[in-house]
A = this chain, B = another copy of it.
């Protein structure tokens, strides 16, 4: 048993933390959030050069990591700094799906992703699918020598920046079937593809995606026809580890900001953190933070095991609850200052809470845990 990071991961963590501390200040980050692109190309390139993206892929795909703990280390640091750049979408989801399913030709895109030269987006969720992974109503129909896509995709993160969208569509089966779902590489400039972009509350941008008779060659299909669900579930599992770790990192920052505030701000001549009620509540946050850290370790450590889904459901349920507590209590213990947009905690709290809306919220994961435990 060993809970220490390997030397390589420790180095990655240190490098990443230093880079972000210098470059990703509150002021810079708030400017990035308000920019038209919604993220910084400089930061993206800088982090790619540091190897952040490479750490998310295995050696057989040109990276030097790709395991659960690699994902956890990277995203914990991204979370600590409140990074809004779309590593989840381009690398874990987009790049991960191509790495898992792509032909040799398609795999070339992974190399581009690792180098920082290509953005991707995973266009999967639909207006009424909520968190149900197998609910795909977008259709893919064979026509002439190609395929025609029709449908609508909801809240597709990073869609506007993506060179290609990885679009899920149904080739057979009923609306909720796992079988019959395929993935397609749709170039940003494809005819019939329309994006309606908007900023997201916790930073970054997304788009509503309409596919209106989008015609593709069959070579645009990623993997075997109708057989993409397994790969989707696997990459979404990795995304859940990433989201859990990112939330953990943000929770660390929230508690650190709160500690600093409690020890700096004075009332009646004493730091308010020395008052018992706040001190005890702060202790509870620290306890939940350690629980969240253990949950991330469990999820990351089981990413390639048979118990994967149950461990991930467990971790995301715990982090959903602990995250809400940390976000709300940190704001409450700060008081008014935490309500202002320019204060670091405001953005950090939004990252924590809004992560609960990607790939299943606290309740969704609780139900999944119950179902998987009963199985």
List the interface of chain A (C-beta within 8 A of B).
275-280
Contacts and interface: CB of A to CB of B under 8 A. Distances in A.
7 contacts: A275-B276, A276-B276, A276-B277, A276-B278, A277-B277, A277-B279, A277-B280
A277 B273 CA distance: 12
A280 B275 CA distance: 11
Give 7 nearest A-B pairs by CB, closest first: A276-B277, A276-B276, A277-B280, A277-B277, A275-B276, A277-B279, A276-B278
Nearest to A274: B276
For A275, A276, A278, the residue with the greatest tally of chain B CB atoms inside 10 Å of its CB is A276
A66 to B, nearest CB: 44
Contacts of A279: 277
Nearest to A280: B277
Contacts of A275: 276
Nearest to A275: B276
A70 B277 CA distance: 41
A116 B279 CA distance: 55
A363 to B, nearest CB: 15
A127 B313 CA distance: 37
A348 to B, nearest CB: 26
A345 B279 CA distance: 28
Nearest to A279: B277
A276 B282 CA distance: 14
A277 B280 CA distance: 7
A277 B279 CA distance: 8
Nearest to A278: B276
A35 to B, nearest CB: 43
Contacts of A277: 276-277, 279-280
Contacts of A278: 276
A278 B275 CA distance: 11
Contacts of A280: 277
A278 to B, nearest CB: 8
A262 to B, nearest CB: 13
A276 B279 CA distance: 10
A275 to B, nearest CB: 5
A277 B276 CA distance: 5
A76 to B, nearest CB: 31
A280 B333 CA distance: 14
A157 B276 CA distance: 45
A110 B276 CA distance: 57
A186 to B, nearest CB: 43
Q: Which of A277, A278, A279 has the most CB of B within 10 A?
A: A277
A360 to B, nearest CB: 23
Nearest to A277: B276
A272 to B, nearest CB: 10
A156 to B, nearest CB: 35
A155 B339 CA distance: 55
Nearest to A281: B277
A102 to B, nearest CB: 48
A277 B278 CA distance: 7
A270 to B, nearest CB: 11
A180 to B, nearest CB: 34
